[in-house]
Amino acid sequence: MAPRHRRALRVVSRALAAGALLLLLAWLGLRLYDRPPGPPGGWLVRLGLEERFATVAGVRVRYVRTGGGSPVVLLHGFGSSIYTWKDVIPGLARAHEVVALDLPGFGWSDQPADLSFELYPRVVLGLLDQLSLDRASLVGNSMGGAVACWLAASEPGRVDLLVLIDSAGFNLREADRPAMVRLTSHPSAEAIAGRLPATRLLVTIGLRHVFHDDTRLTEERIDEYLAAAKRPGTLRSIRSLMASTRAAADEFAARLGRIKAPTLVLWGEEDQWIPLAHADRFVAAIHGARKVVVPGIGHLPEEEAPQEVTRLLLDFLEVGDQAR
């Protein structure tokens, strides 16, 4: 066989081997990510929490309520749910009445096709009214922090204290959003939403972006996020929500100056979604706000460092209670 023919044969053989390897890896990937999520909500049973529902502002909302003392409302971030607070709720509930809810479009609350950011403050206020809570402290992570800010600025008489954990707000414009948020809200995302391996892969990648310590990324955690993400209508609601934040972005910063509630800005030092520099922007914009940075933690301190977050929350809330 001529040398040039041998070289051509080697090239073809290597190409076929590489193609076979890619097919094998794709098959293994599909097998790895084709496992359906386990039944969600087992953590509720373990903590002895009762899953409740209320219709507020025209939407059905899931929430939990536990503990006793001055009330605290927990607001999760984009793509999350009450689950994000599971390791914080027990400690907080020893000294406070704790209410945590799934914001519409996420978790197991309704998924309106015309979901808008301005609905969220109305839902939180409406739930407080239904629970006969005149005032409460608000704790918000990521998007939940932006909701808490909006509510504290517009209804100062209803908010005692404000805690912002890696809060959104200065990134509401599309170009400023994390890449995974832009991807999830893109119209093409719905085409793969029904394909379990792709959805599990995207959920896993998204969680790896927000966790600094991957060892905390358990199968149960992935399954809880995946089960909610797989609900029909989730991506449709997300697209509508993301379109609505463009208007909110224009007045968000101006609203921060109206916040009267004592404010704690709590941030994970290794946050790759919303940079630590945003914490300083909140502190500069909200009169009297102070900042605490949790080292070695990503975008979800309540999940990566729940004991530390619980301690910081209890200390801050206790000072507020004493001041009242």
* Strand-pair partners of 162: 138, 263
**What DSSP string describes 91-118?**
HHHTTEEEEEEPPTTSTTS---TT--TT
Q: What is the pLDDT of residue 5?
A: 47
Share of the chain above pLDDT 90, in %: 60
Q: What is the pLDDT of residue 248?
A: 80
Q: What is the pLDDT of residue 112?
A: 94
42-323 folds as Rossmann fold (3.40.50)
Distance CA 89, CA 302 (A): 10
What does the domain layout of the chain look like in residue ranges? Answer: 42-323
pLDDT band at 291 (very low <50, low <70, confident <90, very high): very high
In 3D, which of 132, 94, 153 has the Cα closest to residue 310? 94
* Strand-pair partners of 163: 139, 264
* Least trusted range by pLDDT, from 30-39, 111-120, 147-156: 30-39
Cα distances (angstroms) measured from residue 214 to each of 233, 296, 297, 324: 29, 12, 11, 41
Q: Are 304 and 278 in contact (CB under 8 A)?
A: no
pLDDT over threshold 50, residue 127: yes
3-state secondary structure of 168: coil
pLDDT in tens, 233-260: 888 888 888 888 877 887 888 899 999 9
* Least trusted range by pLDDT, from 20-34, 99-113, 221-235: 20-34
